[in-house]
Structure 1
Amino acid sequence: MRQCLIYDTPEADAKLIGLEYIISENLFLTLPDEEKPLWHSHLYEVKSGVLFMPRVPGPIERQDLEKVCKTYGKTIHFWQIDKGDNLPLGLPQLMMTLTRDGQLDDELAR
């Protein structure tokens, strides 16, 4: 299992806003059925270019992302920075991601 810290920017003063647990497809398949909907595949994120690794050289990034394609993630955000709060307020939230074309409104992507 991998554990990824999620920051709001790649800058030195970035805010830690979440955490993602990443597991193999084999482990995902052993999860109870009621748990599986809380996880998302990384295949679309990688293939669409949504998921990337800032400041990692291209060949290393591609090699690692090929491994990530075959994994599943469970992401918890504890700071919704888009609300403008100066600190993490409220309950942490389970977050999902895009898993296929057509899920993102084209206007939001611009």
Structure 2
Amino acid sequence: MSLASSPSLLNDSLTQIAADIDQEFDALLKLPGDARDRLYAAMRHAAIGGGKRLRPLLVTATAALFHVDRAVAVRVGTAVEAIHVYSLVHDDLPCMDDDDMRRGKPTVHRAFDDA
């Protein structure tokens, strides 16, 4: 592989893992159709459609080295990303940084309130 093709390989890998992680979050965070809908909507707002997804990419790349099933690695990568997303939501709260925007959209506490 030439060095010229490396950025394309990385970009393709990042695009694929982002789609895989968003698909996992979409399946895990379906609106339940009850009083929890607003909570689930806030979680979907934070988790789906943003970020570089470097952590899940590292998880899946490492898993591939050890011949771990990719579906299992994506699930673990989703868990790692969930922890990361939680830390961002927490950091954005008014009692912390009080940020208005995250990943090009309003922070969770701006879109849904801080409760």
TM-score by length of 1: 0.28
Q: Which has the higher strand share?
A: 1
Structure ranking higher on relative contact order (CA contacts 8 Å, 6+ apart)? 1
- The structure with the larger Rg is 2
Which structure's residues are more often helix, by fraction? 2
Give the TM-score of the pair, scaled to structure 2.
Answer: 0.27
